[in-house]
Amino acid sequence: MTDDANRLRVAIVGASGYTGAELVRLLVCHPAARVVALTADRKAGNTLDAVFPHLAGAGGEGALPPLVAVDNVDWEGIDIAFFGLPHGASQPVIAALPPQVKAIDLSPDFRFADPAVYSEWYGLPHQSPALQAEAVYGLTELMRDRVKAARIIACPGCYPTSSLLPLIPLVEAGLIEADEVIIDAKSGVSGAGRAAKEGSLYAEVAEGIHAYGVASHRHAPEIEQGLSLAAGRAIKVNFTPHLMPMNRGILSSIYVRLAKGASADDLRATLATRYQGEPFVKVLAAGTVPATRHVRGSNQCRIGVFADRLPGRAILLSVIDNLVKGASGQAVQNMNVVCGLPETMGLAQAPIFP
Ligand SMILES: NC(=O)C1=CN([C@@H]2O[C@H](COP(=O)(O)OP(=O)(O)OC[C@H]3O[C@@H](n4cnc5c(N)ncnc54)[C@H](OP(=O)(O)O)[C@@H]3O)[C@@H](O)[C@H]2O)C=CC1
Ligand SMILES: CC(=O)N[C@@H](CCC(=O)OP(=O)(O)O)C(=O)O
């Protein structure tokens, strides 16, 4: 436990949203961090427990500051700022930060190395293209060395996290045909955020499942960026997300063609070697099926590898909690890395079951 004066002073921008609430839940138990600023937009002026009753008393009675508008944050007193804002909102705020503040952005605003790709898919001009070159894509296990030295960390999207952790090592090893990957992914509804939307209503989601963003979802170019870097050439993927009647969790079922001479066992062995000693990525034994309920509330990604009955093909199953490893947990993991803290600090919770 670090004494109070030496703790990192943390701001959570967008604390009245789902990823913001999850950051608070994790950070009030983090022994080297202290939450000193919380922001909101429409809900500014409220206490956090008025917006999220489950966080009443979190961190100790009166430990958390009230929700203020982002313009009212005193940045001089901040070491780390997390941004859980809708796309387009963090770029101008991060661009105006004083240099001692490290920014950890959960939104897509700094994920694309090429600002033109961001503009094309998000329908907005990039507002800080000069800063983009400074930003590091924070898929922690695979980008750790770059994260260590970063001032702006762009946390990956939830679907890309679940897809790229199994796929990048296999593409790098040349064990799969990188341009024939099919990702069939399912997400819980918290992935859509807390803002009221017709598509998130109970009656639109319960007792059913539907695909959305078919052949047009914004996470396709993000996954393609990661796979193209790994392959050393331009890669396109087939990515279809589905909305599931559950709160948390992502299951990505990924269908791959094996490279000549490779087997599903080779894929499993390569992933097991790559993630050996990684506290948050578990490659499961042959025959073990991962489930979203096995990672709920935790920062884990669990990966299963299966031979397909179709010759020359394999199936990868990857599960995460979208709000933890897919967002706020990975963001805290990146804070630990960039601040030289043990990577598991504040993140060692076992999953919640059932
Ligand atoms: N939910 C998830 O599983 C994941 C989300 N992400 C990304 O993280 C970001 C946050 O997501 P999430 O927490 O779900 O979203 P929410 O909609 O739940 O929360 C958004 C937050 O941003 C605030 N806000 C909205 N507009 C503005 C603005 N113009 N200026 C300042 N603050 C604003 C809201 O304040 P108020 O409520 O007061 O209006 C709220 O605090 C998004 O970019 C999302 O794509 C990434 C990975 C996973
Ligand atoms: C269920 C659901 O709606 N999920 C969101 C993904 C959330 C996310 O990670 O999106 P960003 O790239 O904007 O951060 C979606 O499909 O848009």
* Per-residue pLDDT tens digits for 158-171: 999 999 999 999 99
Q: Is residue 345 part of a domain?
A: no
Q: Is residue 327 part of a domain?
A: no
Ligand 2, from 110, 194, 219: best to mutate by most atoms within 8 Å of Cβ?
A: 219
Q: Are residues 78 and 195 in the same domain?
A: no
Distance CA 318, CA 275 (A): 14
Is pLDDT of 252 > 70?
Answer: yes
Distance CA 253, CA 269 (A): 19
Average pLDDT over every residue of 248-258? 98
Which atom of ligand 2 is nearest the CA belonging to 200?
3
Q: Compute the distance from residue 263 Cα to the ligand 2 centre, in Å.
A: 33
Q: Is residue 249 part of a domain?
A: yes
Q: Are residues 93 and 189 in the same domain?
A: no
Which residues on adjacent β-strands are paired with residue 183? 239, 254
Cβ 316 vs Cβ 305: under 8 Å: yes
Which atom of ligand 2 is nearest the CA belonging to 326?
9
> What is the CB < 6 Å shell around ligand 2?
87, 107-108, 157-158, 187, 191-192, 218-219, 241, 243
pLDDT, tens digit, 9 for 90 and up, residues 314-327: 999 999 999 999 99
Average pLDDT over every residue of 301-311? 98
Q: Compute the distance from residue 268 Cα to the ligand 2 centre, in Å.
A: 28
Q: Are residues 93 and 163 in the same domain?
A: no
User: What confidence category does residue 5 fall into, taking pLDDT thresholds of 50, 70 and 90?
Assistant: confident
Name which residue sits closest to atom 17 of ligand 2, judged by CA: 192
Report which bound ligand comes closest to the CA of 93: 1
Q: How far apart are the first and last CA of the chain?
A: 31
Q: Is residue 348 part of a domain?
A: no
Q: Are residues 298 and 215 in the same domain?
A: yes
Q: Are residues 300 and 175 in the same domain?
A: yes
Note the pTM of the prediction, 2 decimals.
Answer: 0.98
Q: What is the pLDDT at residue 3? A: 76
Q: Are residues 117 and 26 in the same domain?
A: yes
Q: Are residues 99 and 170 in the same domain?
A: no
Q: Are residues 176 and 310 in the same domain?
A: yes
Q: Is residue 191 part of a domain?
A: yes
ipTM of the complex: 0.98
Domain count, the chain: 2
Average pLDDT over every residue of 178-205? 97
Is pLDDT of 55 > 80?
Answer: yes
- The catalytic position among 29, 158, 301, 339 is 158
Cβ 162 vs Cβ 323: under 8 Å: no
CATH number at 203 reads 3.30.360.10
Q: Are residues 109 and 230 in the same domain?
A: no
Q: Are residues 186 and 241 in the same domain?
A: yes
Average pLDDT over every residue of 288-308? 98
Q: Is residue 353 part of a domain?
A: no
Q: What is the pLDDT at residue 4? A: 80
Q: Are residues 176 and 307 in the same domain?
A: yes
Using the CB atoms, write b or e for 151-160: b if 16+ within 10 Å. bbbbbbbbbb
CATH number at 107 reads 3.40.50.720
Q: Is residue 147 part of a domain?
A: no
163: containing domain: 159-322
Report which bound ligand comes closest to the CA of 85: 1
Is 158 known to be catalytic?
Answer: yes
Q: What is the pLDDT at residue 1? A: 61
Name which residue sits closest to atom 1 of ligand 1, judged by CA: 191
Mean pLDDT of the chain: 97
Q: Is residue 346 part of a domain?
A: no
> What is the CB < 6 Å shell around ligand 1?
14-20, 40-43, 70, 84-87, 89, 106-107, 157-158, 190-191, 193-195, 322-323, 326-327
Q: Are residues 25 and 103 in the same domain?
A: yes
Name which residue sits closest to atom 10 of ligand 2, judged by CA: 157
